[in-house]
């Protein structure tokens, strides 16, 4: 293996490492707008679950369910 081939392999390896490093750095970052949207959606879902829990635990709902089973 000649010196040009070794130099070419070293350059390609360095470029590959640089690309891999920048990919890993950018992969972990999230857009702040996306995070805010997800938090808003999570809050809406929590409210919906709380509403559903209050409906299901209501005594009139349980009574209707028992009547429907008969």
Lookup: tokens for 30? 């999230």
14-67 pLDDT tens trace: 999 999 988 888 876 777 788 889 999 999 999 999 998 888 887 777 777 778
Concatenated DSSP letters of the chain: --HHHHHHHHHHHHHHHHHHHHHHHHHS---HHHHHHHHHHHHHHHHHHHHHHHHHTSHHHHHHHHHHH-
Q: For residues 64 and 35, state if they share a domain.
A: yes
0.75 exceeded by pTM? no
Q: For residues 35 and 56, state if they share a domain.
A: yes
Q: For residues 50 and 23, state if they share a domain.
A: no
Domain that holds residue 36: 31-70
**Could you give the number of structural domains in the chain?**
2
Q: For residues 52 and 65, state if they share a domain.
A: yes
Q: For residues 23 and 35, state if they share a domain.
A: no
Q: For residues 25 and 35, state if they share a domain.
A: no
Report CA 12 to chain centroid distance, whole Å: 34
Distance CA 53, CA 43 (A): 15
Q: For residues 24 and 6, state if they share a domain.
A: yes
């Amino acid at each position: 293996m000649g010196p040009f081939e070794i130099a070419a392999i070293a350059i390609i390896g360095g470029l590959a490492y640089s690309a891999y490093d920048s990919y890993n750095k950018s992969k972990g970052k999230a857009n702040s707008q996306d995070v805010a949207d997800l938090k808003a959606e999570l809050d809406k879902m929590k409210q919906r679950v709380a509403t559903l829990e209050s409906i299901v635990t209501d005594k009139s709902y349980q009574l209707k369910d028992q009547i429907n089973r008969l």
